[in-house]
Amino acid sequence: MRALGLRSKSIIALLLSCCLALVPAGLLAWRMVDAIRDYYGAAYASSTVKLFKEAVFARVTRELALSQRLAKSEVMRAWLLDEDNPAKRETFFREAESFRADFQDHSYFIVSWRHRYFNADNLPVVAAPRADTSRDDKEIAWFFNTMQGTAQFNLNTSHDRFLDLTKVWINVVIYDGASKLGVAGTGLDLTRLLKEFVKRDEAGLVQMITDAQGAIQMHPDARLIALNTATQGVQANDSTIFKLAGSPADAAALRDALERAQRQPNEPAVLHLNFHGRPQILAISYLPELRWHQVSVVDPHAVQLIQPVWLWALGATVLVLLLAMVAGFLYLTERLLLQPIRALRSSAQAVADGNYSLSLPTAGQDELGELARAFDRMAQKVAHQTEDLERRVQERTAALEEANLRMQAAHKTIDDSINYASLIQRAVLPERELAHALGPDHFVLWWPRDVVGGDFYVFRRDGENCLLGVVDCAGHGVAGALMTMLGGAAIEQAISATDPTSPAAVMRAADQSVRGMLRAGDMRRALATSMDAGLCYLDRERGLLRFAGAKVSLYWSDGRVIEEIKGNRRALGDRRVGEYEDITITAQPGHTYYLVTDGVLDQAGGEHGFGFGSQRLHELLLRHAELPMPEQAMRFGEALRAYRGEHPQRDDITVLAFRFSQSSTGSGT
């Protein structure tokens, strides 16, 4: 028996492939139909809730506006202040008839502390009270709850036993200044509202209204409506929308959707959940003027979103396309596969000699089998490995380029952030305040090791006197800069909380603040959180200088001698609490005073890379102490840079120098 030819095998393979493809295609199509149904269901729910919102909003807000006008009537206020006056009563009720004609239900009510008044088309119009207002009557409890509340109005769905009516009551408080005289308003017939807006004959669509707490105010099923929730609050046994949710998780999602709609009243919140026993699509919109939620519930399987004729047309189109594909495949198999294969027999030897541009057919007993024997000598593995190698090279090259771009972007982001932090750090330093207060009698060298640093200086005016100093926080770079924020806050808080004339008191208070901020024991053991500080208080009136230091010394020199006043050995925030004391000296006009952080002393340089040290610092200060302050700053900076040479800056460097001048007030020391 002759084996099947390639044409027959192709037909069989195509038919089998079509059969196998139809199964997942059918499942995918079904999923797509469900997705389309859900999409259009959500859009339908959203559009219906918007239309529902506009219709109800227009109806209810009109009645609310009329009720508010009624409650603000000067005639009614005058009557309620003198309720037994027949002339004022008659005047008001004549005016009230014009309001009754405008109200939709042609009715209105007024409830004072003493009586209840009501007029409607189905009752004779009277100016006499219909009933007394008594706290013993549970039916009027809503009035006392409204009068005790803070809202100027509320909307309440309830059944009035006296009137034998169930309505959406609009209750507006009547004010006389800050005093509450009563409640006025009207009612919307719930039966008519349900018929017009809620009980619509649309398959798969249910519309309802809830208050801000989720209590149902309108629903096609009147048994689900919660009564008197606006004035008495939501009770445990009241009908709420959350009780219709399928699970606690659905109830939580529904509560989140209500809150989201309340935050964004112009955009309906749409969600999918099990509601009233089956999967539903809910669209929720909020009316802030009425404090109501409007809810459209769409059953995507019940509402006619996709017409059956569309599905039949789609199926017929798929069948026609399938038949056309089979016919085209047969034509292409003969024209593009079988005929070229026969022509390729003569070129088999050329392919075997190294021509890898032709595709290799599979071996068999058909036409392709004849060609397979001519292609046995082809190096298929070489061609495959070459293609695989090129693919890997391209993939890895693309991955490296992408990683490089990400690294460049991250590096730029970090640089930009640090440069911005540097601008902020420089902006918070009291440079202008120092310049305004001390003028040419001071200079500051502030050299952070990195873009941002851990050193900062402080200044606070105290009348004609001032407090100034330097602080060296543990660490440098970004970590040190963050510590300066903490240290600056601690110093500022200490200055405000204590006597600024005592630097020691400020240090003790700052030490307590730092310990309070970093009271976590594990963090204090793992990180260096201490701060060296030196503070001076310049008392111009008495010609005194008061100093306290925490591992920072005060130097002074007149160009002939150099003196150092050392601070306490304990830094602020150290593991052991330091004892800081004020050291008071007479401030001499011819002396220059210096506060220097340890970045100067520790700076490596010179031939052997040793630290700058105290001896070189003393010589530098002594040599330039008599120069003008701007020139001292220049000489100081030149000396440090010359000593450092090619060595990197080890730490942040801060030098604050000043002079005392009794003759300068307000702009200098």
DSSP string, 223-236: GGPPPSHHHH---T
Residue-wise pLDDT tens digits, 198-230:
555 567 788 788 887 888 877 877 787 877 665
Query: What's the pLDDT at 386?
Result: 67
Tell which wins on pLDDT, 162 or 433: 433
Residue 580 pLDDT more than 80?
Answer: yes
Tell which wins on pLDDT, 156 or 455: 455
Query: What's the pLDDT at 184?
Result: 94
Tell which wins on pLDDT, 39 or 7: 39
Of 521, 553, 550, 548, the closest CA to residue 536 belongs to 548
Residues 111, 173 contacting (CB under 8 angstroms): no
Longest CA–CA span in the chain (Å) reads: 127
Residue-wise pLDDT tens digits, 434-490:
989 888 999 999 999 988 888 999 999 998 899 999 999 987 778 888 888 888 899
Residue 400 pLDDT more than 70?
Answer: yes
Q: What is the mean pLDDT of residues 227-241?
A: 69
Q: How far is CA 400 from CA 50, 375, 394, 404, 449, in A?
A: 52, 39, 10, 6, 33
Strand partners for 167: 158, 189
Query: What's the pLDDT at 113?
Result: 92
Query: What's the pLDDT at 612?
Result: 93
Write out the two tokens for 455: 């050193």
Percent of the chain whose predicted confidence (pLDDT) is above 90: 30
Predicted confidence band of residue 506 (pLDDT cuts 50, 70, 90): very high
Residue 584 pLDDT more than 90?
Answer: yes
- Residue 202: which residues within 8 A CB-CB, separation 6 or more? 303
DSSP letter (8 states) at residue 194 = I
Average model confidence (pLDDT) for the chain? 81
Of 526, 547, 551, the closest CA to residue 538 belongs to 547
Euclidean distance between CA atoms 453 and 471, whole angstroms: 11
Q: Percent helix, strand and coil across the chain, each rounded to 5?
A: 50, 25, 30
Tell which wins on pLDDT, 315 or 390: 390
Residue 305 pLDDT more than 60?
Answer: no
Residue with tokens 């001390």: 438
Query: What's the pLDDT at 7?
Result: 65
Query: What's the pLDDT at 123?
Result: 81
Query: What's the pLDDT at 633?
Result: 94
Residue 562 pLDDT more than 90?
Answer: yes
Predicted confidence band of residue 516 (pLDDT cuts 50, 70, 90): confident
Region of 646 (left: φ > 0; alpha: ψ -120 to 50; beta: rest) is: alpha
Predicted confidence band of residue 136 (pLDDT cuts 50, 70, 90): confident
Query: What's the pLDDT at 194?
Result: 58
Predicted confidence band of residue 377 (pLDDT cuts 50, 70, 90): low
- Residue 652: which residues within 8 A CB-CB, separation 6 or more? 447, 448, 449, 453, 454, 455, 472, 476, 480, 597, 599
Region of 664 (left: φ > 0; alpha: ψ -120 to 50; beta: rest) is: beta
Euclidean distance between CA atoms 393 and 600, whole angstroms: 53
Query: What's the pLDDT at 666?
Result: 43
Tell which wins on pLDDT, 217 or 236: 217
Residue 179 pLDDT more than 70?
Answer: yes
Residue 345 pLDDT more than 70?
Answer: no
Query: What's the pLDDT at 134?
Result: 86
Residues carrying CATH 3.60.40.10, the chain? 430-659
Residues 218, 209 contacting (CB under 8 angstroms): yes
Euclidean distance between CA atoms 249 and 241, whole angstroms: 14
Residue 164 pLDDT more than 70?
Answer: no
Residue 13 pLDDT more than 70?
Answer: yes
Tell which wins on pLDDT, 596 or 305: 596
Euclidean distance between CA atoms 453 and 424, whole angstroms: 12
Residue 10 pLDDT more than 80?
Answer: no
Q: Are strands 604-605 and 153-160 parallel, antiparallel or unpaired?
A: unpaired
- Residue 603: which residues within 8 A CB-CB, separation 6 or more? 611, 612, 640, 643, 644, 647, 649, 650, 651, 653
Residue-wise pLDDT tens digits, 281-299:
888 888 776 677 888 888 8
Residue-wise pLDDT tens digits, 532-547:
999 999 998 899 999 9
- Residue 230: which residues within 8 A CB-CB, separation 6 or more? 142, 154, 155, 156, 157, 171, 211
pTM: predicted TM-score of the whole model, two decimal places: 0.44
- Residue 478: which residues within 8 A CB-CB, separation 6 or more? 418, 421, 450, 452
Question: What superfamily would CATH give domain 430-659?
Answer: PPM-type phosphatase domain (3.60.40.10)
Residues carrying CATH 3.30.450.20, the chain? 40-298
Residue-wise pLDDT tens digits, 314-328:
677 877 787 787 777
Q: How large is the angle between the packed helices 308-332 and 6-71, nearest 10 degrees?
A: 150
Of 190, 116, 186, the closest CA to residue 158 belongs to 190
Query: What's the pLDDT at 72?
Result: 92
DSSP letter (8 states) at residue 301 = T
Task: Determine the CATH number of domain 40-298.
Answer: 3.30.450.20
Query: What's the pLDDT at 196?
Result: 62
Residue-wise pLDDT tens digits, 39-76:
777 777 777 777 776 767 777 888 889 999 999 999 99
Residue 554 pLDDT more than 90?
Answer: yes
- Angle at Cα 430 formed by Cα 428 and Cα 435, nearest 5°? 145
Euclidean distance between CA atoms 140 and 130, whole angstroms: 13
Euclidean distance between CA atoms 448 and 479, whole angstroms: 12
Euclidean distance between CA atoms 613 and 299, whole angstroms: 84
Residue 268, helix vs strand vs coil:
coil
Residue 153 pLDDT more than 50?
Answer: yes
Euclidean distance between CA atoms 596 and 469, whole angstroms: 9
Query: What's the pLDDT at 207?
Result: 79
Predicted confidence band of residue 664 (pLDDT cuts 50, 70, 90): very low
Euclidean distance between CA atoms 375 and 345, whole angstroms: 10
Of the candidate ranges 138-142, 278-282, 306-310, the one whose mean pLDDT is the lowest: 306-310
Residue 613 pLDDT more than 70?
Answer: yes
Query: What's the pLDDT at 349?
Result: 60
Predicted confidence band of residue 663 (pLDDT cuts 50, 70, 90): very low
Residue 565 pLDDT more than 70?
Answer: yes
Euclidean distance between CA atoms 471 and 332, whole angstroms: 85
The burial class, CB within 10 Å (0-12 / 13-18 / 19+), for 226 is: buried
Q: Where are the alpha helices (DSSP H) in 537-612?
A: 598-601
Strand partners for 184: 110, 172
